[in-house]
Amino acid sequence: MAQPSNLYGVARIHALELRLLDSGKIERMVEASTPDDVLKILSESGEYGSSMADIQGPWDYEKLLIGERQRLVELLDKISPSPEITDIFFMKYDIHNLKVLLKAHYLERNYDEFLSETGIYDVPTMKEALAEGDHRHLPPFMGQAIEDVHTASEEKVDPQRIEVILDRAYYKEVLFRCQKHKQRFCMDYFSREIDLANIKSYFRVVIAELDPSAFTAVFIPGGTIEEHLFWKAYDEGWEKIPEMIRSTRYVSLAENGVTDIREKGKLGDFEKEVDNHLFSFVRESARNRYDSIEPILAYIFAKEYEAKAIRAIMVGKLNGLENQVIRERLRDSYV
């Protein structure tokens, strides 16, 4: 149930922020000798300690992250002053599940192992909607996206096309909700996310040496960078993309991407810097705000980045990677 104001929710969030994994604890996890030692450090946290009994060993670490995400959803259900806004940060898991289910449907395979347990709509509801062709229990934008996928797949089933249709539908709905609720912070955040996704797609097309039309096929509308600027960069040389977007806030990030491709032939530092850019924007927007939804949204991001850090560390430890390699893969921490 939505709360009448932000004050209650923000007060709860500020108390919970004290339990977030700080850079010191994350560094201890990186320096831990074994995956079991990482779990021991996590068990010291009030957030994760209570879930340790549910896992059988280090390979079960994902269960910790799923459980923590589910608790976050339950918390927001109690404290969010605007569920229609906070929900959009979890609908991406619904979109992921729709992608999995639609691909399974068209390829006649079972991909249940790839489904996420966290989302606004449960998986059985989605499966029933697809099986019966009845989308009444899903939001209209999801129902329309499913129909668009069916139409696009009449002649040829293209898994990438399924991804793009659902991504575009998701971002269109997100921007609509942000505008409807006059959430300038959310509008700014998601326009950045769209812009950076498009820049990343541009670089991936370059790396794969694909025809520029491949970029148009995956371009997501709704950002601040118009598609024609990417085409202009193709015409003048792909390395020109920083110059083409020089009036935007992404020039240095694009320069990092160009350097990555030139020196390594792949994206590495660029993707890390993209995540840090978005996280820094969220963190700064929420700083010293007590009467708005920004701190609540920032906490959602903080928990997501915390999960990414734990996952990166556990994967590194389980695969015997050097500590420095693991450290280089980590993004900035919230605290």
Give the dihedral sign, CA 288/293/296/298. Answer: negative
Instruction: Say whether 83-182 and 6-82+293-329 share the same fold.
Output: no
Domain 6-82+293-329 in CATH 2.40.70.10: no
**How far is CA 38 from each of CA 47, 143, 312, 318, 326, rounded to the nearest angstrom?**
15, 43, 12, 11, 13
pLDDT tens, residue order, the chain (335 aa): 455 567 888 889 989 988 888 889 999 999 999 999 999 998 887 677 767 777 888 898 988 888 888 889 889 988 998 899 999 999 999 999 999 999 999 999 999 999 998 888 889 999 999 999 999 999 999 999 999 999 999 989 999 999 999 999 999 999 999 999 999 999 999 999 999 999 999 999 999 999 989 999 999 999 999 999 999 998 999 999 999 999 999 999 999 999 999 998 988 788 889 988 998 998 888 887 777 888 998 899 889 889 999 999 999 999 999 999 999 888 766 55
> Which helix (H) or strand (E) covers residue 135, if one does?
none
Give the pLDDT of residue 3: 54
Give the pLDDT of residue 225: 96
Class of domain 83-182: mainly alpha
The alpha-helical segments, DSSP class H, found in the chain are 6-17, 23-31, 35-43, 46-49, 61-79, 83-86, 91-107, 123-132, 140-152, 159-180, 184-207, 213-218, 227-236, 241-244, 251-264, 269-286, 294-318, 323-329
pTM as predicted? 0.90
Q: Tokens for 29?
A: 């996890």
Q: Where are the domains of the chain?
A: 6-82+293-329, 83-182
- CA 295/CA 288 separation, integer angstroms: 9
Give the pLDDT of residue 333: 62
Give the pLDDT of residue 1: 47
